[in-house]
Chains A and B, each alone.
Chain A
Amino acid sequence: LLRSSQPLTGPNRRRCREDEKLLGTLLDEGERGFIIDTRSAQAAKQARMGGGGTEPKSSYPQWRRLHRALDRGRPLQESFIRLVEACSDPSLSMDRWLSRLESSRWLGHVKAALSTACLAAQCLDREDSNVLVHGAEGTDTTLLVTALAQLILDPSCRTLEGFQGLLEREWIEAGHPFQLRCARSASSHGRGKQEAPLFLLFLDCVWQLSRQFPFSLEFGEQLLLTLFDNAYASAYGTFLCNNEKERSVLCKVKESTHSLWAWLNQPEEKQKLLNPLYSHNPLVIWPSVEPQSIQLWQGLFLRWIRPSQHLDEAWAEIRRLVEGN
């Protein structure tokens, strides 16, 4: 599984021998690979006008390009805001609620993200093919897809430790611009142009996986909520800045801050994050992306709206049963 940003094909259909060669080295004679472009075919084509573009078939003959349009940026932020507003409105009738849930399109984004990740995973697992994922910048929807695909495919990513490693690799080191994306409160109306809840979308997808495979993730919802909180405002330096360069050169994050992982991995904290039902599942987990299978992440969206007491009690009971054994 590889990731990159878009090729700078441009309006004049530039070619780059080195890039073609690089991709060529991945494939044997006669083998085929997939490129999953997280933009629609049209958007990708239009990107050429701005100097970007896609890999033309002629230059990359062994690669088959698939387009899966995933929203990012402003549309995603709007979607999120609409959902939060719908959740907090106490006056809605059931019809209005469903209507606003639908028009927020948030669950549609979750479905699309999971489907695309599954597609990537399928190419790898079922087709034994290499897959290159990119959108425009390679810092948003690209990472969403590659990180989810790994969770689906690789059981080691589903352990607490493995998941932290996944986040480090696929989000932090890979350069998701946390500082820009999570600049303000998630439900802020401030229209920062660069703000977008991609990381939250990722966490939501992970939550969907945990719901569909309740035994297969070593961690529970609490970890996901903690990560969500810390991405926006944190006492730790883990999610600071936009990339490794800024972290090491600009802010000297490693010298001047503490790591979130160090805190989370302390035994008392860790206990709270573990999933009592976890049991190592060596297999690939294929989620259902039918609408019925994708649910509103109540623990996040209704966090302050609805008391979680009864569910907390249920989890406490689950812990008690499992640990008592």
Chain B
Amino acid sequence: VENVRLLDRLSSRRAVVGTLYLTATHVIFVENGSETRKETWVLHSQISSIEKQATTATGCPLLIRCKNFQVIQLVIPQERDCHDVYISLIRLARPVKYEELYCFSFNPKLDKEEREQGWKLVDLNEEYNRMGVPNNYWQISDVNRDYGVCDSYPTEVYVPKSATAHIIVGSSKFRSRRRFPALSYYCKGNNASICRSSQPLSGFSARCLEDEQMLQAIRKANPGSDFIYVVDTRPKLNAMANRAAGKGYENEDNYSNIKFQFIGIENIHVMRNSLQKMLEVCELKSPSMSDFLWGLENSGWLKHIKAIMDAGIFIAKAVAEEGVSVLVHCSDGWDRTAQVCSVASLLLDPYYRTMKGFMVLIEKDWVSFGHKFNHRYGNLDGDPKEISPVIDQFIECVWQLMEQFPCAFEFNERFLIHIQHHIYSCQFGNFLCNSQKERRELKIKERTYSLWAHLWKNRADYLNPLYRSDHSQTQGTLHPQIAPCNFLYKFWSGMYNRFEKGLHPRQSVTDYLMAVKEETQQLEEELEVLQERLANLQKSQSGDNKVKSKQQDRSKQTGLYTSDNSLANTPQEYSNDLKSFPSRSPSQGDEEDSALILTQDNLKSSDPDLSANSDQESGVEDLSCRSPSGGGCLPSEDSGKDSDEAVFLAG
């Protein structure tokens, strides 16, 4: 469709005109006429909702909201076209078969072996071995080898040595969805462990010997403690209500040597609504500080994030400081349980704060343990009540921790954002379906590619320059401040306003420092080489050292790390009062970005935000979503050439 206008949320003046294309996998908007022909690509999988708004004099507005928080406002001149686009998008954004998803057609031009290798990058068996199991207390069990005991669990689970197959099977019958207690994390240092399950089917008074034995077995697997914590991550009221439905929670009277604890994280429906409310705040036009803070409070979002974090902290403390094992569950043990176990693991074990370790963590606690990716993130069209930002919350917890402990993580914010992006993008096969069983049936590994391999290949983009494995922050357990600590939780505009470049610091400190680090390394290597040569020359007959150290010149040449001085940014609309003055060009020079050198190098083709119209067949990262707000390929997008008359709001 031609002559479509793409509006900018912050400035209605900054609309651009272009052509809208719909393909089998993407919506693409291509700007007319400008030299750069900026493109905005949106994967259908990313589309969360489409809203057709009332026709105005200028055309028919269409609002596309994405799961990665991009919001695209289009104005289509003809009502009929708008309607067609709307209907098409509705269908395209709601696939009914897995085969419709992008991952089955995405082709990064890797051969079969490379594809396989990609899937082998993360190996859970290796991970459990790294933890220290199997050992005297823990064994691997294949009781679920054909998914016969629990179809949402993996085929291989780790259980206490004293848990026989009989006990496991018996326990599974007493647990919601058959999700019996299994090992999530083992602490080599003191034998304490984190186990996870679903709620027991205890109702008001039901008991199950095998289930009680299972918990005993967990306790016995830790000789250092004579009790275990059982943590129910639900609010007490909800858990109690479940009893009426024949489920519920563990009665301390029936299970010997347990200490029971409610943590009170709300359910998926509350979280879905919370996010919704927060996004509404983000969509406000020119909110006051009060509007924003009030809206944020009203959404409850940060409160929920903190609740998850607090739960993780409690568990980490129990394991690291008290040396007590913990059994965690919620209702079905695949949402809050996953969040809380992975946060706790992250706090406990520095390995999970490395890039590889983090991938392993997600693979373990989310993918293998049957988190329902399809239902929660809407790979396929399904029940809207199942949708909930569960893993988004976990990812945000990680970001909050990164803000508090800037040196503790090997990876940076971009890594988290890209992971979140790809959970919804369905470009890779990792996050499809609801369980390992379903993925194997669909032969995901033979038919799609692994995100982990892709991220790993581009890991240079995802490194945190402040990370040093020998640094005190990166060792051992992380101890976030407990109270007061509300103020430590910030609104993550990098995620929820990701595509509004005007909101973020123009210059990325991370990228700059990475470039500095790289250059320092390069120079050091050169220095070594030159020193060797010098030494050799000194040994040789000629004896006169005319070797000039070249590194000085080099450093001037690369200019790699001169920061983005010339990032001209334009003022936002500060005032309603300055109208219709004759346009003048800004006094500062347009951004002749010598800093383009820096940013070009950092123009990661892997960044879904930044890649140009990548060719599916060329093997370059295909996924590109550029900010509609004139975000060119660089942070320095606001060129002086912009009609910054847009600066003066007409009204």
Near A by CB (< 8 A), chain B positions 497-544 give: 497, 502-507, 509, 512-513, 516-517, 519-520, 523
Contacting residue for A310 out of B288, B297, B473, B568, CB 8 A: B473
Kindly state the separation between the CA atoms of A90 and B486 in the bound complex, as whole angstroms.
9
Q: Using a CB-CB cutoff of 8 Å, which residues 550-583 of chain B contact chain A? A: 561-572, 574-575, 577-578, 581
B300 touches A311 (CB 8 A): no
A127 at the interface (CB under 8 A from B): yes
Taking the closest CB of chain B, its distance from the CB of A33, in whole angstroms, is 13
> Beta-carbon contacts of B574-606 to A below 8 Å, as 1s and 0s?
110110010010111100000000000000000
Q: Is B207 an interface residue (CB 8 A)?
A: no
Instruction: Judge if A16 is at the interface, Cβ distance under 8 Å.
Output: no
> Do the beta carbons of A325 and B584 come within 8 Å of each other?
no
CB of B481 closer than 8 Å to a CB of A: yes
Q: Which residues does chain A contribute within 8 Å of B408, judged by CB atoms?
A: 310
Q: Give the Cβ gap from A302 to chain B, nearest Cβ, in Å.
A: 6
A-binding segment of B67-75, B87-95, B150-158, B399-407: B399-407
Contact B471 A313 (CB under 8 A): yes
Q: In the complex the two chains form, is A99's CB within 8 Å of B513's CB?
A: no
Q: Which of B473, B489, B506, B513 contacts A321 (CB 8 A)?
A: B513
A213 at the interface (CB under 8 A from B): yes
**Is A279 among interface residues, defined by CB-CB distance under 8 A?**
yes
Q: Given A90-B484, A214-B507, A101 and B404 touching (CB < 8 A)?
A: no
Tell me whether B296 is interfacial, beta carbon within 8 Å: yes
Q: A102-B297, A122-B571 are in contact. Are A298 and B484 (CB under 8 A)?
A: no
CB-nearest residue of chain A to B292: A291
A94 to B489, CA, bound (A): 9
Instruction: Verify A313–B407 contact, CB threshold 8 A.
Output: yes
A98 and B297 in contact (CB under 8 A), knowing A93-B303, A122-B647?
yes
The answer to whether B294 has its CB under 8 Å from any CB of chain A is yes
Please give, as numbers and ranges, the residues of chain A lying within 8 Å of B489 by CB-CB distance. Answer: 94
Q: List the B side residues contacting A321 at CB < 8 Å.
A: 465-466, 513, 516-517, 520
Asked if B486 and A94 sit within 8 Å, CB to CB, the answer is yes
Contact B574 A277 (CB under 8 A): no
Q: Which of chain B's residues 388-428 have a Cβ closer than 8 Å to chain A? A: 404-408
Cβ of A180 within 8 Å of any chain B Cβ, yes or no, is no
A87 interface residue, CB < 8 Å from B? Answer: yes
Given known A-B contacts A94-B306, A314-B406, A107 and B289 have beta carbons under 8 A apart: yes
The reply to whether the CB of A118 lies closer than 8 angstroms to some CB of chain B is yes
Give the distance in Å from the alpha carbon of A200 to the alpha carbon of B638 in the complex.
31
Q: Let me know if A127 and B581 touch, CB within 8 A.
A: yes
Q: What chain A residues lie within 8 Å of B306 (beta carbons)?
A: 94
Q: How far is the CB of B522 from chain A (nearest CB, A)?
A: 10
Contact (Cβ within 8 A) A292 B507: no
Contact status A283-B578, CB under 8 Å? no
B619 within 8 A of A: no
**Total cross-chain contacts (CB, 8 A):** 196
Task: Say how far A110's CB is from chain B's closest CB, in angstroms.
Answer: 8
Interface string of B233-264 (1 = CB under 8 A from A): 00000000000000000000000000000000
Against B, the Cβ 8 Å flags (1 = close, 0 = not) of A73-94 are 0000000000000011111111
A200-236: which residues lie under 8 A (CB-CB) from chain B? 211-215
Bound-complex Cα distance A293 to B503 (A): 6
A307 touches B481 (CB 8 A): yes
A68 closest partner in B (C-beta): B575
From B484, B489, B504, name the one whose CB has the most chain A CB atoms within 10 angstroms. B484
A270-320: which have CB < 8 Å to B? 277, 279-286, 288-296, 298, 301-302, 305-307, 310-311, 313-314, 317-318
- Are A105 and B290 within 8 A (Cβ)? yes
Contact status A310-B509, CB under 8 Å: no
Q: How large is the interface on B (under 10, 10 to 19, 20 to 34, 35 or more residues)?
A: 35 or more
Given contacts A118-B574, A127-B584, A282-B588, contact A318 B466 (CB under 8 A): yes
A214: chain B residues within 8 A (beta carbon)? 505, 507, 509
Q: Does B293 contact A (CB under 8 A)?
A: yes
Chain A minimum-CB-distance residue to B502: A288
B291 is contacted by which of A101, A288, A291 (Cβ under 8 Å)?
A291
Partner among B497, B561, B569 whose Cβ is within 8 Å of the Cβ of A292:
B497
Contact of B503 among A89, A215, A288, A313 (CB under 8 A): A288
A residues within 8 A CB of B483?
Answer: 90-91
Q: Do A302 and B647 touch (CB < 8 A)?
A: no
Of B465, B472, B481, the residue contacting A313 (CB under 8 A) is B472
The answer on a CB contact under 8 Å between B644 and A126 is yes
Taking a contact as CB atoms under 8 Å apart, the answer to whether A325 and B588 are in contact is no
Q: A247 to B342: give the CA distance in the assembly, Å.
A: 61
- Closest Cβ of chain A: how far from B575's Cβ, in Å? 5
B302 near A94 with CB under 8 A, answer yes
- Complex alpha-carbon distance, A280 and B594, angstroms: 14
21 A-B pairs with C-beta separation under 8 A? A91-B484, A92-B484, A95-B297, A115-B574, A119-B575, A123-B578, A125-B587, A213-B505, A214-B509, A215-B563, A215-B564, A279-B563, A283-B567, A285-B569, A289-B572, A291-B288, A306-B485, A310-B405, A310-B406, A321-B466, A322-B513
B interface, CB within 8 angstroms of A: 10, 282, 287-294, 296-297, 300, 302-303, 306, 404-408, 465-466, 468, 471-473, 481, 483-491, 493, 497, 502-507, 509, 512-513, 516-517, 519-520, 523, 561-572, 574-575, 577-578, 581, 584, 586-589, 644, 647
Q: Can you name 14 extra interface pairs (CB under 8 A) apart from A122-B575, A292-B491, A325-B519? A: A93-B486, A94-B303, A101-B487, A107-B293, A128-B587, A212-B505, A215-B563, A286-B571, A288-B572, A291-B292, A291-B293, A314-B406, A321-B465, A325-B516
